[in-house]
Amino acid sequence: MPQYTAPLKDTHFVLHDWLKLSEHYQTLGLEDFDQELVNEILNQGAKFAEEVIAPLNREGDEQGCTLADGIVTTPEGFAAAYNEYIANGWNAMLGSADYEGQDLPHTIAVPVQEMLSSANLSWRLTSILTESAVLAVTKHASDELKNTYLAKLISGEWTGTMCLTEPQAGTDLSLLATKAEPCDDGSFSITGGKIFISAGDQDWTNNIVHLVLARLPDAPSGVKGISLFLVPKFLPNTDGSPGQANTLSVGSIEKKMGLKGSPTCVMNFDDAKGFLVGAPHTGLACMFTMMNDARFQVGLQGLAVGEASYQGSLAYAIDRLQSRAPQGVQQPDKKADGIIHQPDVRRMLLTQKALVEGCRALSLLYAQQMDIEKFTSDANHKAKANNIIAFLTPIAKGFMTEMATELANLGIQVYGGHGFIREWGMEQLVRDARITQLYEGTNGIQALDLISRKLARDKGTMLEDTHALFASKVAEIKDLQAKTQAEALLQEWLSTAEQLKTLNAIDLAAAATDFMHYSAYCLLGVIWLSMADTAKGSDNESIKTGKANTCDFYMKRLLPRKESFKTNLFNGSEDLMAVSVEEFNYQ
Amino acid sequence: MPQYTAPLKDTHFVLHDWLKLSEHYQTLGLEDFDQELVNEILNQGAKFAEEVIAPLNREGDEQGCTLADGIVTTPEGFAAAYNEYIANGWNAMLGSADYEGQDLPHTIAVPVQEMLSSANLSWRLTSILTESAVLAVTKHASDELKNTYLAKLISGEWTGTMCLTEPQAGTDLSLLATKAEPCDDGSFSITGGKIFISAGDQDWTNNIVHLVLARLPDAPSGVKGISLFLVPKFLPNTDGSPGQANTLSVGSIEKKMGLKGSPTCVMNFDDAKGFLVGAPHTGLACMFTMMNDARFQVGLQGLAVGEASYQGSLAYAIDRLQSRAPQGVQQPDKKADGIIHQPDVRRMLLTQKALVEGCRALSLLYAQQMDIEKFTSDANHKAKANNIIAFLTPIAKGFMTEMATELANLGIQVYGGHGFIREWGMEQLVRDARITQLYEGTNGIQALDLISRKLARDKGTMLEDTHALFASKVAEIKDLQAKTQAEALLQEWLSTAEQLKTLNAIDLAAAATDFMHYSAYCLLGVIWLSMADTAKGSDNESIKTGKANTCDFYMKRLLPRKESFKTNLFNGSEDLMAVSVEEFNYQ
Q: Which chain B residues are within 8 Å of A346, Cβ to Cβ?
A: 576-577, 579
In A34-186, DSSP assigns E strands to 66-68, 71-73, 159-163, 179-182
Could you tell me the pLDDT band of residue A460, with boundaries at 50, 70 and 90?
confident
Give residue-wise pLDDT tens across range A371-381: 999 999 999 99
pLDDT above 70: residue A97: yes
Beta bridge partners, A193, equal A268
Which of the residues in chain B have pLDDT under 50?
Answer: none
Q: What is the 3-state secondary structure (H, E, C) of A350-365?
A: HHHHHHHHHHHHHHHH
- Distance between CA atoms of residues A19 and A364, nearest Å: 8
Could you tell me the pLDDT band of residue A292, with boundaries at 50, 70 and 90?
confident
Beta bridge partners, A248, equal A269
- Distance between CA atoms of residues B291 and A207, nearest Å: 58
Contact A549 B585 (CB under 8 A): no
B201: left (phi over 0), alpha (psi -120 to 50) or beta: beta
Residue type (1 letter), B55: P
How many helices (DSSP H) and strands (DSSP E) are in chain A? Answer: 21, 11
The answer to whether the CB of B142 falls within 8 A of the CB of B215 is no
Mean pLDDT of the A40-52 span: 98
Alpha-carbon torsion B230, B234, B238, B241, what sign?
Answer: negative
Give residue-wise pLDDT tens across range B106-126: 999 999 999 999 999 999 999
CA A340 distance to own-chain centroid:
30
Beta bridge partners, B230, equal B211, B275
Could you tell me the pLDDT band of residue A586, with boundaries at 50, 70 and 90?
confident
Give residue-wise pLDDT tens across range A9-18: 999 999 999 9
Contact B420 A435 (CB under 8 A): yes
Q: Using a CB–CB cutoff of 8 Å, tell me whether B512 touches chain A.
A: yes
The answer to whether the CB of B299 falls within 8 A of the CB of B101 is no
Contact B413 A443 (CB under 8 A): yes
pLDDT above 80: residue A1: no
Q: How far is CA B223 from CA A330, B51, B132, B170, in A?
A: 20, 45, 20, 12
Tell me, what's the pLDDT at B361?
98
- Distance between CA atoms of residues A403 and A351, nearest Å: 10
Q: What is the 3-state secondary structure (H, E, C) of B284-332?
A: HHHHHHHHHHHHHHHHHHHHHHHHHHHHHHHHHHHHCECCCCCCCCCCC
- Distance between CA atoms of residues A337 and A137, nearest Å: 57
Q: How far is CA A408 from CA A117, A411, B324, B401, B513, in A?
A: 14, 5, 35, 16, 18
- Distance between CA atoms of residues A406 and B467, nearest Å: 32
Tell me, what's the pLDDT at B587?
67
Interface residue of A420, A439, A580 to substitute, partner B, most B CBs within 10 Å: A420
Q: How far is A96 from chain B (nearest CA, A)?
A: 33
For the residues of B530-577, what is the DSSP string, one character each?
Answer: HHHHHHTT-S-HHHHHHHHHHHHHIIIIIGGGHHHHHHHHTS-SHHHH
Closest chain B residue by Cα to residue A442: B416
Q: How far is CA A175 from CA A168, A447, B351, B414, in A?
A: 7, 22, 29, 19
Cα distance between the two ends of chain A: 48
pTM of structure: 0.98
Q: Using a CB–CB cutoff of 8 Å, tell me whether A256 touches chain B.
A: yes
Q: Which chain B residues are within 8 Å of A258, Cβ to Cβ?
A: 420
- Distance between CA atoms of residues A347 and A557, nearest Å: 9
- Out of B76, B402, B440, B492, the active site residue is B440
3-state secondary structure of A68: strand
Q: A571: Cβ–Cβ under 8 A, 6 or more apart, which residues?
A: A510, A511, B556, B557
pLDDT exceeding 70 applies to what percent of chain A?
Answer: 100
3-state helix, strand, coil in chain B (%, to 5): 65, 10, 25
Give residue-wise pLDDT tens across range B42-96: 999 999 999 999 999 999 999 999 999 999 999 999 999 999 999 999 999 999 9
Q: A276: Cβ–Cβ under 8 A, 6 or more apart, which residues?
A: A180, A188, A227, A228, A229
Mean pLDDT of the A313-322 span: 97
- Out of A440, A498, A541, A583, the active site residue is A440
Length of chain B: 587
Tell me, what's the pLDDT at B586?
87
Question: Which of A172, A223, A178, A448 is closest to B322 using CA atoms?
Answer: A172
Closest chain B residue by Cα to residue A259: B420
pLDDT above 70: residue A67: yes
* Mean pLDDT for all residues in chain A: 97
In A74-187, DSSP assigns E strands to 159-163, 179-182
Q: Using a CB–CB cutoff of 8 Å, tell me whether A584 touches chain B.
A: yes
Tell me, what's the pLDDT at A297?
98
* Mean pLDDT for all residues in chain B: 97
Interface confidence, given as ipTM, is 0.97
Q: Using a CB–CB cutoff of 8 Å, tell me whether A240 touches chain B.
A: no
Give residue-wise pLDDT tens across range A121-132: 999 999 999 999
Beta bridge partners, B252, equal B266
- Distance between CA atoms of residues B247 and B265, nearest Å: 16
- Distance between CA atoms of residues A313 and A307, nearest Å: 10
The answer to whether the CB of A398 falls within 8 A of the CB of A450 is yes
A531: left (phi over 0), alpha (psi -120 to 50) or beta: alpha
- Distance between CA atoms of residues B336 and B322, nearest Å: 5
For chains A and B, count residue pairs whose Cβ atoms are closer than 8 Å.
296
Q: B37: Cβ–Cβ under 8 A, 6 or more apart, which residues?
A: none
Q: Residue B144 is inside which H or E element, if any?
A: helix B143-155
- Distance between CA atoms of residues B182 and B49, nearest Å: 44
In B139-233, DSSP assigns E strands to 159-163, 179-182, 188-198, 208-214, 227-232
- Distance between CA atoms of residues A375 and B140, nearest Å: 77
Give residue-wise pLDDT tens across range A433-446: 999 999 999 999 99
Q: Using a CB–CB cutoff of 8 Å, tell me whether B586 touches chain A.
A: yes
Nearest to B509 among A326, A430, A549 (CB): A326
Other Cβ atoms closer than 10 A to B185: 7
Contact A563 B563 (CB under 8 A): yes
